[in-house]
A and B are shown apart, each in its own frame.
Chain A
């Protein structure tokens, strides 16, 4: 009885972390799908959102508000607004002016922005870990034999909120006017422009949506871990980027699948091999995919346009 329960526990652990990778990965994949660049500052947007969520939760708690739902919703709204504003500003300042030039220039601009945002938070908040208490402790315990599987309330919240966000995004992309414009832009930006779509607006909105999802991930992971520092964006961004490439960069379902896959692969590696091999396995997976299926699991092979 122990072995299957242990496996179940590791899968739960993996799906929890994987769904947050997926939330961040969507930001990478959407931007890539529309303007063909990797927004390396996206991990920092997630980090900023986590700080904002912490500040809101700490501030409201100090004012004596202790309703978990209220704290979460308030933190979520403020984090989404602040993160979106940052992403919007980053696009305007660092990407739009270089959009016409070579890809490498936009890439360097993105890396510069990432360093800037990290140091900007470092100056504003200091380099030490900031922590908040656990506002949603506890969970369900399933016992079988010697091993108890724990599904914490926070993990359930992470699954549920991620699922809701994905459904909302899917509905937005497939049903709304702006979503249709997004799809048009990703197919052919020049043509979409000729047909009267405001492509600048669509690109800005893409950054804003990506940032909003990163803010959701920031709040969820912030509450789950309870700790934030200015460096968390780097690793989270790297993992999410890996997930996006794994699933097929440019494809939204691909990002989700890639994120979940990566999370589960990491948890199982940690559970059955050794935590030391976590990064070996995740980046090994990436290399394998790039070797044998460079367009990713759900991506489409790119046809060279002549």
Chain B
């Protein structure tokens, strides 16, 4: 009897110890959802390294309210169907904070689920306006919108390039078509002649009939809304088929892989990208931390992902809670100093201010900012990478 007693007491003690250590280590899980595999996985990597770095630095500084953050990675392959499955899994896993998703077409359906389940989501990469237009109060983004990016590109085209006959191509996906439409509206308002506006199928490899058509129409400028694998092939085949036109694309094409695919044909491509946060002197320590881990802080979504984690942590700290609604309310009401500058969310969850800059891409995978100051047309600053 005594033996049994002692045994059960011991068991009780063990389980109590277990309980204590559990509550001390009860991490706050944060889901990082985006493409880990698939054709645009490198953008997912940018998001992951940014978010992971923020989590690591916050934990090193003592965590949030004494608890540690824990990043949990989910793979949506940039497919809407997969994104819904991932969102449901995040719900089932009881995670209340999400960094992601990356592709707008994935973020959109996933955000419906997060809103219904009371989960706070911040996308560091999805630029399609519709995502925050739904008016969900727990959905945010730390990047600009296509209807901000499109006009930047459109205005640049109308004022600096002034093409005679322009073509706009997109990949029929939410992101690509969204930004392409925004560009179309801006340039047409400025009186630019858009002679071809057409969609392609993402994953398609043969663009010869499209390029021949652009040649027939004597197109001198092509704007492409979409991601780099398709534009890379279009550039390569355009060079082969003798289409002599200037190309431009959104940040979805601004990736060194485009130079691997298109080679010399990627030289001179124009790209709108978020401002190069890694060149901001205020971020020098952070950049050094990335470089110490042999990671590249210059990807367009790295700093926005870092920022997303940081504002969530600050929200939790200030409200002393991990309730998504309380944190969301705090995010709406306050401003934050972050690596992407001063962050101030409007009532939709969009940033009040976010700057896109036009870059010229080079065949070696680097980029230089194009000086958009009208007084100095044509002059370009030197390499920043």
Please list the residues of chain A having a beta carbon within 8 angstroms of any beta carbon in chain B. 2, 6, 9-10, 13-14, 16-17, 122, 127-129, 131, 133-134, 137, 139, 141, 146-148, 150, 152, 154, 221, 225-227, 229, 231-232, 235, 266-271, 274-276, 278-279
Contact = CB atoms under 8 A, between A and B. Distances in A.
Contacts of A152: 240-241
Interface of B: 37-39, 41-42, 172, 198-201, 203-210, 212-213, 215-216, 218, 229, 232-233, 236-237, 240-242, 257, 260-261, 263
A229 B208 contact: no
25 contacts: A16-B208, A17-B208, A128-B39, A128-B257, A131-B232, A131-B261, A131-B263, A134-B236, A150-B241, A152-B240, A152-B241, A226-B233, A227-B205, A227-B229, A229-B39, A229-B229, A231-B39, A232-B203, A235-B205, A267-B209, A268-B209, A270-B213, A275-B200, A278-B201, A279-B201
A9 B242 contact: no
A13 B257 contact: no
Nearest to A152: B240
Contacts of A128: 39, 41-42, 257
The 10 A-B pairs of least Cβ separation, nearest first, read: A270-B209, A13-B208, A267-B209, A127-B37, A276-B199, A131-B261, A131-B260, A271-B209, A9-B212, A275-B210
Contacts of A147: 215-216
Nearest to A266: B209
Contact of A14 (B39, B209, B229, B260): B209
B259 to A, nearest CB: 9
B176 to A, nearest CB: 13
A148 to B, nearest CB: 6
Contact of B240 (A2, A137, A221): A137
A151 to B, nearest CB: 10
A226 B216 CA distance: 25
Given A225-B233, A227-B233, A275-B199, A127 B39 contact: yes
Contact of A276 (B198, B216, B236, B261): B198
Contacts of B41: 127-128
A10 B204 CA distance: 17
A229 B39 CA distance: 8
Nearest to A236: B205
A275 B236 contact: no
Contacts of A141: 242
Contact of B218 (A139, A146, A221, A225): A146
Contacts of A269: 209
Contacts of A2: 216
Given A128-B257, A225-B205, A235-B204, A6 B216 contact: yes
Given A128-B42, A131-B261, A235 B203 contact: yes
B210 A270 contact: yes
Contacts of A275: 198-201, 207, 209-210
Contact of A227 (B199, B215, B232): B232
A125 to B, nearest CB: 12
A171 to B, nearest CB: 30
Given A235-B205, A267-B209, 9 more contacts: A17-B208, A131-B261, A147-B216, A154-B240, A225-B206, A226-B236, A274-B199, A275-B199, A278-B204
A227 B242 contact: no
Contacts of A268: 209
Nearest to B205: A225
Contacts of B37: 122, 127
Contact of B200 (A9, A227, A276): A276
A278 B204 CA distance: 10
Nearest to B42: A128
Contacts of A279: 201
A29 B229 CA distance: 31
A129 B260 contact: yes
Nearest to A221: B205
A274 B199 CA distance: 8
Contacts of B260: 129, 131
A267 B210 CA distance: 8
Contacts of B38: 127
A13 B198 CA distance: 19
Nearest to B36: A127
A226 B209 CA distance: 18
A10 B212 CA distance: 7
B240 A150 contact: yes
A276 B172 contact: yes
A128 B38 CA distance: 7
A279 B172 CA distance: 13
Contacts of A266: 209
A226 B199 contact: no
Nearest to A141: B242
A103 to B, nearest CB: 28
